[in-house]
Structure 1
Amino acid sequence: MLRFMTLGPSGSNHEFVTARYLKFHELEDKASVELVLDFDTAAKAVINGDADYLIQVAVHPSTTEIVAKFRKHLFVVDAFVSGSKDMAVVTRIDVEQPKSLALQPATRDYVDTEGLQLIPETSTASVAEGLLSGKYESGLTYSSLAKDYPSRFRLDEIVGTVDDPWIVYGRQRLSEGKVVTWRDSPAGRAYQSELKQAAR
């Protein structure tokens, strides 16, 4: 079994996207996924051989630190694009006008946060947990929370899915210092299509 690590808690967008990635590579029955609450712990686990790979969204605040700090022992072995779970600003029904908004900092510019006290959380899933426990008035999290608990929450602003870049790390450097991509990728096909249209 291959061992993958990614950011929890259970139900996180990282868990959701990691499952999609494993399914794409037909690894659902050949890999396990362990959830952690910080990427530093996950990086060290891969380096020490306690896990094989780590998956991280490229826009996470700790990405630069992970790439730089562990560069001699942890390598980017793959990258891909995936849509997220449907997201929205979810607010408690008993709060008419929220004064604060809990969010994962990388999602801050998805909505207008002017005039709100921002409460940083480690993941979008932990924002949902905070809303469920009554800790937060409002949060940028999964829209399914309001659908699952319609008597407790409402949708104040729908964000929808967001296409993010994702990074896969491993112990062995696979790029050999070269560009790792393929000409027949969706982007490669779009480039060629635009060139053909421009040549007409």
Structure 2
Amino acid sequence: MIVATLGPEGNNHVLVLRRYLAARGLADAQVKLFDDFPTAFAALVAGEVDRVLQCTAHFSHADCVGRHMHRAFPVDVFVAGSHPLALLARRDVAAPRQVARQPATRYYTDLSGFSEEVDAATTVAVAEGLLAGRFEAGICARQALEDHPEKLCLLEDLGPALDVWVLYGTEPLVDSNPLVL
């Protein structure tokens, strides 16, 4: 079985997918990472992958569901927490005015104190941008602070996001499945 989700390695989609596979006894499944969900869903309907895992909070969720109606079907759903998140800033910026965030995280805390908000593709990209000096502050995994305390400081601990996750396949569930109402 090949199960796809959004990359890169280390993001919440990969974290939750690996947890899911372990919990369902599918640890031998092959994981395939995609740069975006439209490409992952296209691979699903083309038969190149067997399943796609997507968080319903992801900004492309509604588009993917709509574009693949009657070709990609929810086959499992569950609730899972993300990596613990934090609003971090670079230590070399005394008063950060710019904040980066993945669009799904934009309301996780009050960002009104920043004069500029920058979209990033993933929370991993936010952490990389902070460390590379492209961003002054950002919402990303708290692990970035633990890995680089000399470069980053904590502005606010946000904890894990608790989200609904959907696994898609190409065959709909039968009416007798307990997930079907």
Do structure 1's residue 38 and structure 2's residue 51 form an aligned pair? Answer: no
What fraction of aligned residue pairs are identical, expressed as a percent? 38
| Structure exhibiting the larger radius of gyration computed from Cα positions | 1
Task: Report deviation, 1:8.
Answer: 1.0
Kept after mapping to 2: 8 A contact 1:4/1:32 = yes
Residue 87 of structure 1: aligned partner: 85
Q: Where do residues 24-173 of structure 1 align in structure 2 (5 Å cutoff)? A: 24-29=23-28, 31-116=29-114, 117-173=116-172
* Structure 2 residue identity aligned to 1:19: R
Q: Distance in 2 between matches of 1:70 and 1:90?
A: 37
Task: Report deviation, 1:95.
Answer: 0.8
Distance 1:33 1:178, change over 3 A: closer
Q: Distance in 2 between matches of 1:175 and 1:65?
A: 24
More displaced, 126-135 or 149-158?
126-135
Residue 195 of structure 1: aligned partner: none
Distance 1:26 1:97, change over 3 A: same
Gaps of 5+ in 2: none
Kept after mapping to 1: 8 A contact 2:56/2:166 = yes
Kept after mapping to 2: 8 A contact 1:4/1:52 = yes
Residue 17 of structure 1: aligned partner: 16
Where has structure 1 moved over 4 Å in runs of 4 or more? Answer: none
RMSD across aligned positions (CA):
1.7
Query: Structure 1-normalised TM-score?
Result: 0.86
Query: Structure 2-normalised TM-score?
Result: 0.94
